[in-house]
Structure 1
């Protein structure tokens, strides 16, 4: 199938001939890189693609992941017309059933989400579900959602069509060509050594599936994923299967079911999968399968027999056991690695490779050519994982659980149970004695709330921690609370060009005098958000940047890659310093009581030095929660003594849930919620914080957006029904039409109502009543442009 000899140079080398590699090659060629090549050590689809059940279900938990799979649907349905090669696209829809009330709520939330994203989805009764799937036992089914546009493909045919399309434009494929080394120089890829010779290149797309961790290591990059065994049962023909059926999703029983060659295909994502240690599957694993394991599959088989009585008499063709790779959070990796420039990942597909492949390949090609995906995919950013997740020990523990959570009900507050306690805060022991309930962020265990007496029962209604969080918000509002910001990333920028460098890379007013605190957006050439950070100017030549907890790898990489030509050094000091936010009206008294009365002389958005419990601190006067106080930075080893002094003087610890509630009341936007790389500061109401004279990356793009009439489209909502529980991503309607959707939701304890921030398509006046669709139930909400609490910000400033 390959033609000619291996070239000595190619602009882009795609490694791996599965769905991701074939799609990436196709899209590179479509976008003009017609001399890209694909290297496959065996044959196309011979890794995990060939045995994929190849379901293509469009709805995902975010707008852009959904958009990505919608692109796959459109691509697969027209490939035959374009290339003459059939892709085996069968569009028979999918049926999701619920056998308990929480699952019913879950699928109704999905139905509401589908409407917001323009995907047809309809609630139907158990009786109608039975009509669509007559072989199903529907006795315990409470309801279902029908999605008519979903379908499936033939994975091998899709890959053949994509490669045919790519080759017609000039791209080349080389099978039986294994990569034996990736060549790098000064942290950048420059070529690959293969079994057939060496190819120099400018970029590599690593689409090597379950072997990607080892392949990435060849280039010095971290690619945390691990293969697990993945099972589905195939039967011989069964009476009642005539033609193609919809895919039946029985997620309460961990099953997906459809026809296959007149028989049944019954697949599962069992609660705890079986991991495969690295090195077990070698390059000789070509079109390979693992041994059948009926003992492991038996509980799923019992579930399947309950759902499909016809299985009792069906003849089994085989129990297929094929490997599939999973990442520590269940989302794939797409984009350039932090460690190695020019090395781009398209892997860790978590068993949705065929569904995602069309859109993910397009976005990977777009990233290689244009430096960013076609739309925000930061949830799949290759730089999002803490290095500690790349350990085999942690991956062996976590990957089987990730497989099992594939069909979980999306409860708020849900946490992984495996690979925990990887990184502990300096005050971990103190928080455990205060009965903290922890959540894991970037490997850190962060307190979500305190005073936990027993494990919370997860639910869609008012959560078990409601009163705990209320107590913490009250402490911050009426006395004083301590919020731990220690896991936030910290970057020291030092050198004679520190100011000039930050004027270029930050949109805010970073040239303020030493002693200043600056909030700033970090933008790309498109004028959209790469990050939003807080900056403390410590001296003429020294700044300290505070970035999001899970953004340290990404942001440090961004700044380093824009530092050429500047005399600056960049150092990650995240673990050197702890940061404690002391917030609330009692803060001034507490500062005096602990021997640091000079903190009260620090002006708003200024920082100063003091000593608490005999230890040096740097306190910055700002507030993320809308109450007066300071973010106090100290050396990590001094945090316990400082915390002891603050709590002895009356401050109470408060967790992330309280902070989020108070942030939403203040209308403060956060990366990954209200801010992302699709939006500029103009659409998020933050353009007042950008320098009018420009001179920073993205300035021209912002000016263009303003000239085009862009305005803020983020607003605050107060729900009228105190018992409503919005969670985020709910459709917002005005006059029966979808206006936008919620981003962050909480209960606003200071305003006494459920609240939300929302993105809308067009501005809406304050006081307008809109509707929010929460799992099919409609709730009224009132619009506010601006904060819901203390709109003038008087409580945040020193009295």
Structure 2
């Protein structure tokens, strides 16, 4: 055995395709002192038994970019390293057996065109020509991606490892990392064992690519890495006479995929209810191991497959394989620096798409580590989205029974997770439940999405058309516009920033002017050095030395990590997460002032309580801090209430609002109201890749206040001009629906995608937002074009606006 070195710049833990890709890409960037340690042998965990499917189209543009990068990399690796990768771009076909699935895959085809991925909608007859063995009797539609394909996963990992070694990386097998060392919140190295030997490698950085071992390894360092292994099944037939090369075939309605390889057929499955594995840990000698066969579990898939592919009825089974793979609570992998420990990086939890993901993920992580910023928006897979409670093993075991099957489930809009629910509840949960609330979940929080009427079922009936709650959303939306609505928004992230340096610290991080009067609320962004948006928040000045920030619940861990990362050692600032301590009731609508005045003796007039300010108020027999802001475009207040008084305040408001038409409202209505007002949504409309000026948020940037992060990028963009602009769209036909990721068509050409959308019940049609290229153009040029939005291959006329279509002068918020 080669003894590990005493020092390294980076130690990569895990020798699957993910770890090998990170090593390869860091080495390509010129890094030296790279050490990869594998507890057994390269590829011996999951990589060796992966199916090796290469599907380029993913759910977002940047995830698609990474998958395309992987495919391109695997094509050229063989020439670079001399190791055959088995990469074949033989294409893929996805067939639909239902109208809903056809709508889904045709929407995906539109998305593929927007992302410059070659795609063709094909008829059942054309499918039969490409795949003569297929029973197409009940096929209603299909899409073909010619440049998809398949590969040999183990050989690709070996090729990446060889490419890394050729550039100086050290890759050592049979060396187990036993702990990650840290001091003062930063990685300092690892300890290792190899047989009878043991030692320490001092290192600046560590990358956890430990796959299904990664969770427990991370947990030992206090790092949250929520993943859990599941059993994953496939069969490989004996050689089938005259079986020629075929595209990869996916039949998601039957949970199955098919791959021809060397004259044999592989049939794999993503069954709706999976079998978690390794709850009590993974045995020490696990290496190239299989799990026990469970033919009863696989039999329903096989029965459908024999009908779909009749040649399977007479084909002998050469291999019945069952092996473990790691899955995450939201079916997306983890990438980035862990917020708990500086220098602790992660690339793990690939949810059975690790082969197509790892090439691009290794590239992106290496760039991120090298530059200090990701190469583009990676929020889809950012480790900072993980919630601390999600490391709970019982929670993970229950949740991953569902997430494995989601890969091939119908991806209906607004689909809710069904397992591991009810973990984070607001003080009003039972109150809302008794009044008809139908809950959704974000970051573990149970949030009322809509309220059922008396006698109406309290369940989602999913569809690509109007779902069963569409009318409920309309009633709630119009109540906010015409009378008043009451929302429970206790899931907001709430952060207190205090100390003698709190003001200069926030001035440096925030783009807006933070030196405001006590009681003022500032809407602002935190920018990166490229002018991209890292956080979208409001900050209220509570005192000379204390501020209160409000962020979306889903981004709380990200925002906390950003704030703590940029806190200097000589700054006296304390950052405290107050999310669970305070509830938030949001009272919005033209009758809001009348309602709140019935339960509070405070003065809520414009003169005494203007927009953009906060005051402590008496309410009922309790106290609250009232913030006069809005995310729906109406008069109203966000009420921040101690958790122990929340139910009392809710009951007081509910009673006071009866005569004024107050209606309980859910998150679906909140979203449809905000889309009419063209308010941006972080993670969809604005990300760390979107320049704050191009997002139309220049009004919240004050370059005259002095230096702050991103200021130079703002000044450069103002000088150079915008290359694209955020535009709001309304479909002229009131029937079609927009969700997001539909294609924006300008003068007959696809130029972008809809970043977020909903139905505008006041405006009477679907509303969407998205960026439009505009280099060298005036407002009149942008608005002078003809716009359409393509939905599942059909184009619909749309009108465009650079101002909010609802109340463009914001008069209603200042009523």
| TM-score, normalising length: structure 2 | 0.96
* C-alpha distance in 2 between matches for 1:306 and 1:34: 55
Superimposed CA distance per residue, residues 391-427 of structure 1 (whole angstroms, 9 cap, x where no aligned partner)? 1111110111000111011111101100000110111
1:31 corresponds to: 29
Q: 1:776 aligns with which of 793, 803, 808?
A: 793
Report the Cα distance in structure 2 between the residues aligned to 1:541 and 1:45, rounded to whole angstroms. Answer: 54
SS in 2 for 1:383: helix
Paired residue secondary structure (1:539):
coil
Q: 2:469 aligns with which of 445, 465, 472?
A: 465
| 1:275 and 2:270 matched | no
2:712 maps to what in 1?
A: 700
Counterpart Cα distance in 2 of 1:580 and 1:144? 47
Q: Within 1, Cα distance between the matches of 2:473 and 2:214? A: 42
Q: CA deviation at 1:767?
A: 6.2
555, 559, 563: which one pairs with 2:567?
Answer: 563
Aligned to 2:669: 658
Q: Which residue of 2 aligns with 1:612?
A: 619
Are the equivalent residues in 2 in contact too, given 1:224–1:327 (CA < 8 A)? yes
Aligned pair partner of 1:582 in 580, 587, 608: 587
Aligned residue number for residue 811 of structure 2: 794
- CA deviation map 1:186-233 (0-9, x unaligned): 121111111142111011110011111011012221110000000000
Give the Cα separation in 1 of the matches to 2:784 and 2:347.
46
Q: Map 1:694-733; keep pairs closer than 5 Å.
A: 694-710=706-722, 713-733=725-745
Structure 1 partner of 2:179: 181
1:216 corresponds in structure 2 to 218
1:308 is aligned to 309
Counting only pairs closer than 5 Å after superposition, residues 223-372 of structure 1 correspond to structure 2 as 223-242=225-244, 244-372=245-373
CA contact (8 A) 1:625 1:662 kept: yes
Q: Which runs of 5+ in 1 are unaligned?
A: none
C-alpha RMSD of matched pairs (Å): 1.2
Matches within 5 A, 1:362-441: 362-441=363-442
Conserved in 2, the CA contact under 8 Å of 1:767 and 1:783?
no
Aligned 8 A contact 2:724 2:771 in 1: no
Q: CA deviation at 1:282?
A: 2.2
Measured in 2, the distance between the counterparts of 1:524 and 1:32 equals: 25
Deviations 1:444-465 (Å, cap 9, x if unpaired)?
0011111252123100011211
In structure 2, C-alpha distance between the alignment counterparts of 1:558 and 1:770, rounded to whole Å: 38
What is the correspondence of 1:89-128 to structure 2 with a 5 Å cutoff? Answer: 89-128=87-126
- Distance of aligned partners of 1:607 and 1:280 in 2 relative to their CA distance in 1, 3 Å threshold: closer
Superposed displacement of residue 371, structure 1: 2.0
1-structure distance, mates of 2:520, 2:263:
71
Alpha-carbon separation, structure 2, partners of 1:489 and 1:588: 26
Partner of 1:572: 577
Checking the alignment, whether the CA contact within 8 Å between 1:481 and 1:653 is kept in structure 2 is: yes
2:189 and 2:600 map into 1 onto residues whose CA distance is 60
1:100 & 1:646 partners in 2: Cα distance? 47
> Does the CA contact (< 8 Å) of 1:767 and 1:782 recur in 2?
no
Whether contact under 8 Å (1:584, 1:628) holds in the other structure is yes
Asked if the contact 1:682/1:711 (under 8 Å) is kept, the reply is: no
Match of residue 80 from structure 2: 82
CA contact (8 A) 1:599 1:619 kept: no
Of 639, 647, 659, the residue aligned with 1:640 is: 647
Which residue of 42, 50, 56 corresponds with 2:54? 56
Looking at structure 2, the residues matched to 767 and 707 of structure 1 have their Cα atoms a distance apart, in angstroms, of: 24
**Are 1:672 and 2:683 an aligned pair?**
yes
Deviations 1:593-623 (A, max 9, x none): 1123413331111111211111111111111
Q: Does the 8 Å CA contact 1:742/1:756 hold for their aligned counterparts?
A: yes
CA distance in 2, matches of 1:240, 1:761: 51
Kept after mapping to 1: 8 A contact 2:727/2:769: yes
C-alpha deviation, 1:27, in angstroms: 0.3
Of the three residues 501, 504, 523, the one matched with 1:519 is 523
Correspondence 1:477 to 2:484: no
C-alpha contact (below 8 Å) 1:662/1:748 kept by paired residues: yes
CA distance in 1, matches of 2:204, 2:533: 27
How far apart are residue 292 of structure 1 and its match?
A: 1.0
Partner of 2:491: 487
Q: Structure 1 residues 294, 280: closer, same or farther in 2, change over 3 A?
A: farther
* Alignment correspondent of 1:199: 201
Cα displacement string for residues 438-489 of structure 1 (whole angstroms, at most 9, x for unaligned residues): 1101100011111252123100011211110111111111111112221111
**1:766 & 1:511 partners in 2: Cα distance?**
37
Alpha-carbon distance between aligned partners in 1 of 2:786 and 2:190, rounded to the nearest angstrom: 60
CA distance in 2, matches of 1:50, 1:691: 54
Task: Give the Cα–Cα distance (whole angstroms) in 2 for the partners of residues 334 and 400 of structure 1.
Answer: 23
SS at match of 1:296: helix
What is the TM-score with the length of structure 1 in the denominator? 0.98
Shift of residue 573 of structure 1?
0.4
- What SS class does the counterpart of residue 140 from structure 1 fall into? coil
Shift of 1:707: 2.3
Residue 461 (structure 2) pairs with residue 449 (structure 1): no
Contact kept? 2:539, 2:547, Cα under 8 Å: yes
The structure 2 residue matched to 1:690, chosen from 698, 701, 705, is 701
Equivalent position of 2:783 in the other structure: 766
Q: Is the 8 A contact 1:684 1:714 kept in 2?
A: yes
Deviations 1:679-727 (A, max 9, x none): 1211101122111224111111222222222255111001011001111
Check conservation: 2:511, 2:703, Cα contact below 8 A: no
Q: Which moved more, 1:178-187 or 1:50-59?
A: 178-187
For the Cα contact (< 8 Å) 2:205–2:344, is it kept in 1?
Answer: yes
For the 8 Å contact 1:13–1:36, the answer to whether it is kept is yes
